[in-house]
Amino acid sequence: MKNYRLKKEAVPYFKKDLATKIATIEMWNQHQVDKFALEEVEEAYVSYGHKSGKNSKTLSGWNSKEGSHFEFTIHYPSVKFSEHDKFGNGKITRELMNSLQSQINNHYKQFVNGEEE
């Protein structure tokens, strides 16, 4: 399902609490916001690797002291500059890391128990 937010030029014409909302078209219709005042928001995604140069990525590695590591990058294409600092603050980042940690632990547990495909 696609998500939308107000276009920059439309923000002054709406309530302040709608200025940073990202929601479905149904929510915007409930607030009687015309579709021409909206722009589509790209979904967040994860890519494998961390850019380490113009044409290169660090993907993973292993050593006898620290074991294995894999590099991933989380992309939020629709986050505006003004939202970046708020989104990247300690509490929100910690909550995201806790959520990811749970998934990583479950994935590794399945691997160790031979449940991988």
Q: What is the pLDDT of residues 22-48, one digit of tens each?
A: 889 999 999 999 999 999 988 888 889
Say yes or no: 86 and 110 in one domain. yes
Q: How many domains does the chain have?
A: 3
31: containing domain: 1-41
Question: Would you mind telling me the total number of residues written for the chain in this entry?
Answer: 117
Q: Could you tell me if 62 and 68 are in contact, meaning their C-beta atoms sit under 8 angstroms apart?
A: yes
Say yes or no: 95 and 108 in one domain. yes
Say yes or no: 84 and 74 in one domain. no
**Residue 57 and residue 68: Cα distance in Å, rounded?**
17
117 pLDDT higher than 60: no
* Residue 83 φ then ψ, to 5°: -90, -20
- % pLDDT > 70, the chain: 97
Average pLDDT rounded to a whole number, residues 60-85: 88
Say yes or no: 34 and 49 in one domain. no
Say yes or no: 73 and 83 in one domain. no
Say yes or no: 67 and 90 in one domain. no
**Residue 59 and residue 52: Cα distance in Å, rounded?**
10
The pLDDT, as a whole number, for residue 52 is 86
Say yes or no: 83 and 115 in one domain. yes
